[in-house]
Amino acid sequence: MGARITAYNIAYARFRAAIGEGSITTPQDSKTQSEEHPESHPLACEFVGFHFHSVFRIPEPVKETCLTFSRSNYTRISNMTTYFNYPSKELQEELKCIAQAIVAPGKGILAADESVSTMGKRLKDIGVENTDENRRAYRQLLFTTDDKLAENISGVILFDETLYQKADDGTPFVQLLKKKGIIPGIKVDKGVVPLFGSEDESTTQGLDDLAARCAKYKKEGCDFAKWRCVLKIGKNTPSYQSILENANVLARYASICQSERIVPIVEPEVLPDGDHDLDRAQKVTETVLAAVYKALNDHHVYLEGTLLKPNMVTAGQSAKVKNTPEEIGLATVQALRRTVPAAVPGVTFLSGGQSEEEASVNLSAINKVPLVRPWALTFSYGRALQASVLRAWGGKKENIGAGQNELLKRARANGEASLGKYVPGSAGTDSGSLFIANHAY
């Protein structure tokens, strides 16, 4: 109690002195301002903060000054938040058209943005060495698939290395895609880094030179970008620190992309690691998405020129109860309806370690949920589009056609799923689980 009284007395004395009623000397400019407008003095904030958390009776003149400061300061802050500029009409139209084209009915995204090290793991699984040429040869297989691919694939996310690679005949991969009517995109984040003081949580780096890189990528032919943030479900996670930090990073990334005429795909991935149930996954997903869209609003991001790439709401990989596609679909749509504005053109789900078949079946179930869904709900799959392709190819030239046929089948399956029309099992054999613990790439 003695400590609180002392703290109160000090705060009260400093505040009185600051507004000209005490003996503490203040700089002349501050004193003059305080005498005329005591509620504007910075020390008023300190005293107000103490006052509202204390149990002491405050003298009425001081109390009224504090409240006046609080009201005027709140009004000042509230008014400031309404002063910002929308993008120009021309930029709005460009961004909106790109976003809408990516989520056109029956179409989705092929995520071929694996880093050198991650692509090495994929190649190792099929007994192929991780070399520049082997990575190029595999991406060439993907991008030279029959033009029918464009019936279900609207965009491809590239890695920086792949953006500058060429086919055997010298045609840049970007041009191969554009000739098919497929929009090139680019991964722009530089990977996750630890959040100091957290329980093994992370944020994503790469903002410092992002504007310059986006300007360069736009000139190279990329019209959209992707940035991934990762959140983990545990007893005490995701923490407020992690949620807030990653939401703001995603918002800043989105704002920078739009300033360079690139559509940002916002990816706040809640990892499936853990034994949590569906209910816990839904609540965490809702909390994370709500924070993301608050941050996007704070940064004045033009939502009609964005896309969302979230996880589906699923129980943890180690959960005792495995939910049905219908339960997953309902939980996912409910989470989106509670957090994602209708202005967003589309949601392009990540597969999150689901098998190829699970990713298709669950996406189809999501599109059958009997609730209003104001956005296109489609796919942005990496492993769930490529696992069978890699196995069929096996690094052999004579198997290129077989690999491309697998890609066409999986693309068609997910295109049907984005319309709620996929028939389970109709795409052939399943890849099996593609889950990777604590997945990073």
The answer to whether the CB of 417 falls within 8 A of the CB of 379 is yes
> What type of residue sits at position 301?
V
Residue 378 to residues 152, 185, 257: CA-CA distances in angstroms? Answer: 10, 16, 22
- Over residues 109-138, mean pLDDT: 97
- Whether the link from the prior residue into 424 is cis, omega within 30° of 0, is no
Taking alpha carbons only, the member of 19, 13, 17 closest to residue 39 is 19
pLDDT tens per residue, range 380-438: 999 999 999 999 999 999 999 999 999 999 999 999 999 999 999 998 766 565 545 55
Taking alpha carbons only, the member of 295, 238, 287 closest to residue 264 is 295
Q: How many CB atoms lie within 10 A of CB 120?
A: 17
* List 309, 357, 406, 416, catalytic entry: 309
As a whole number of angstroms, the distance between CA 235 and CA 276 comes to 9
DSSP strands (E only) in 195-235:
202-204, 224-231
Tokens for 331? Answer: 């939980």
Range in 15-19, 43-47, 138-142 the model is least confident about: 43-47
As a whole number of angstroms, the distance between CA 265 and CA 228 comes to 9
* pLDDT at res. 60: 58
- Over residues 66-88, mean pLDDT: 64
Tokens for 40? Answer: 């504007």
Question: Structure pTM?
Answer: 0.82
Taking alpha carbons only, the member of 211, 202, 324, 314 closest to residue 264 is 211
Range in 73-82, 199-208, 356-365 the model is least confident about: 73-82
* pLDDT at res. 83: 85
Residue 41 pLDDT more than 70? Answer: no
Residue 47 pLDDT more than 50? Answer: no
Residue 370: DSSP 8-state: S
* pLDDT confidence band for 164 (50 / 70 / 90): very high
Residue 53 pLDDT more than 80? Answer: no
* pLDDT at res. 21: 47
DSSP 312-353: P----TT-SSPPPHHHHHHHHHHHHHTTS-TTS-EEEE--TT
Which residues are within 8 A (CB) of 128 and not within 5 positions of it... i.e. 6 or more apart? 134, 394, 395
SS3 call for 324: coil
Residue 88 to residues 44, 274, 302, 373: CA-CA distances in angstroms? Answer: 41, 45, 11, 28
Tell me whether strands 224-231 and 376-381 are parallel, antiparallel or unpaired.
unpaired
Taking alpha carbons only, the member of 345, 330, 353 closest to residue 274 is 353
Residue 23 pLDDT more than 50? Answer: no
Residue 109: DSSP 8-state: E
* List 94, 201, 267, 406, catalytic entry: 267
As a whole number of angstroms, the distance between CA 291 and CA 280 comes to 17
269 classed as catalytic: no
* pLDDT at res. 76: 54
Residue 32 to residues 29, 35, 38: CA-CA distances in angstroms? Answer: 5, 5, 9
267 classed as catalytic: yes
pLDDT tens per residue, range 329-358: 999 999 999 999 999 999 999 999 999 999
